[in-house]
Structure 1
Amino acid sequence: MKVAVIYASTTGNTEAMANAINEACKASGAEVIFGTADSADKAAVTACDVILLGSPAMGDEVLEDTMEDFYTGIEGSLNGKKVGIFGSYDWGDGQWLRDWNDRLTNAGAVSAGEALMVHLTPEEADVEQCKAWAAAAIK
C-alpha cells in the first residue's frame, strides 16, 4: 500500500503530528511519500492508495497558504480517493477542518476517518493518538 503524508506547518505543531503519522504508516509496512505541501509532487500523491493531509488553522480558521495551494491543485483528482485530514490549532473550534472535510466530500473523496485535531504542541498522549489515527486511516 502506498500512503502520502503531506503537511504544512508554521510553528512545528502540525509537523510533529505528521512525523507521528508517518512513523505509524511506516510501522504498518506501507510505502510512504512524506513531505511538505510546498514541495510535494501532486501526481505522486494522487497516485497513492491513501492520502493524509495536515494543516494548522490559520487566521480565521483557514488552511495554511501552501496547503491551500497544494490542495487546490489536487482537489479535482480526489474522486474515489481515500483521504484523511489532520491539524493543530491555537484557538477556535475546528471550523477549518470541518470546512476542509466539506471540500473533500464535494470532491468525491472517501473519508479515511474523522479529522484529527490537536491543540497547540502535541503532548505524548496526542502523539499516540496521531499514531492510532494513522493506523486506522490506512486500513
Structure 2
Amino acid sequence: MNKIAVIYYSGTGNTEAMANALIEGVKSSGGTAVIIQAGIFSADMLDSYDGFAFGCPAMGSEGLEDEVFEPMFEGLLPHLSGRKLVLFGSYGWGDGQWMEDWKQTALDAGAQLLASPVIALDSPDEEALSASRELGVALCS
C-alpha cells in the first residue's frame, strides 16, 4: 500500500480544496493519505512515506509562501533526490510562473515528479479539482 504525505499551506482555502481532492485520488487508488502541516514537516519524516504531495499558493511576486512553507521546503531540498512527488497550488495573479520555478527547483534537487503540477486561478474549478484527484492517483501508481 502507498502511504502518501500531503503537505500544504493554504491561506484562503483554495489550495486546501485541491489537497482534499488529491486525497480523494489517493484513497480511490487504495493508498493512504496523511495530512501534515507544512510548519511541522521535516526531512527526518521523509522515510516514513512512499510519496509526497506538496501544495502552496503563489504569494507576493509569484513565489512560495515565505514564512512557513518555503523554509520547510528548502530544508527538504538536499533530501529529495529520487523521492516521488507532485506539486499543486492556487494563484490569484500573474501567469503561474511560481509553479514553473518551483517545479524546476524540485527537479534540480533530483526529485521524481510523477505528473505535471496542477494550478488553479483563485478558487479551483472542477477541472482543477479533477486534475488534483489525478495527482493522487499518480502518486499511487
Contact 2:119 2:128 in 1 (8 A): no
Say which SS state the counterpart of residue 33 (structure 1) adopts: strand
Tell me the alpha carbon deviations over residues 22-50 of structure 1, each in whole angstroms, 9 at most, x when there is no partner: 12212222122212211335422453221
Shift of 1:61: 0.4
Amino acid at match of 2:51: V
Larger RCO: Structure 1 or Structure 2 (Cα < 8 Å, ≥ 6 residues apart)? Answer: 2
Summarize the Cα distance change of 1:125–1:101 in structure 2 as closer, same or farther, 3 Å threshold: closer
- 2:38 — aligned with what? 37
Distance 2:90 2:10 in 1: 9
Identical-pair percentage: 39
* 1:87 is aligned to 2:89: yes
Aligned residues: 139
TM-score of the superposition, structure 1-length normalised? Answer: 0.91
Query: How much has 1:19 moved relative to structure 2?
Result: 1.0
Q: Please give the per-residue CA displacement for 1:60-102, whole angstroms capped at 9, x wherever unaligned.
A: 1000121101101111110111111000001111111111111
SS in 1 for 2:6: strand
Q: What is the alpha-carbon distance in structure 2 between the residues aligned to residue 117 and residue 77 of structure 1?
A: 25
**Quick one: distance in 2 between partners of 1:53 and 1:12?**
15
Maintained 8 Å contact 1:46/1:74: no
2: distance between equivalents of 1:111 and 1:124? 23
Other-structure match for 1:124: 126
Secondary structure of the corresponding residue to residue 25 of structure 1: helix
Letter in 2 for 1:31: T
Unaligned runs of 5+ in 1: none
Q: Is the 8 A contact 2:8 2:15 kept in 1?
A: yes
Aligned partners of 2:43 and 2:32: how far apart in 1? 16
Please tell me whether the aligned partners of residues 51 and 84 of structure 2 are also in contact (alpha carbons under 8 angstroms).
yes
* Residues 56 and 65 in structure 2, CA contact (< 8 A), matched pair in contact too: yes
Give the Cα separation in 1 of the matches to 2:72 and 2:18.
19
4+ residue runs over 4 A deviation = none
On the 8 A contact 1:112/1:138 being kept in 2, the answer is no
| Aligned-residue RMSD, C-alpha | 1.5
Q: How does 1:1-139 map to 2 (within 5 A)?
A: 1-65=2-66, 66-139=68-141
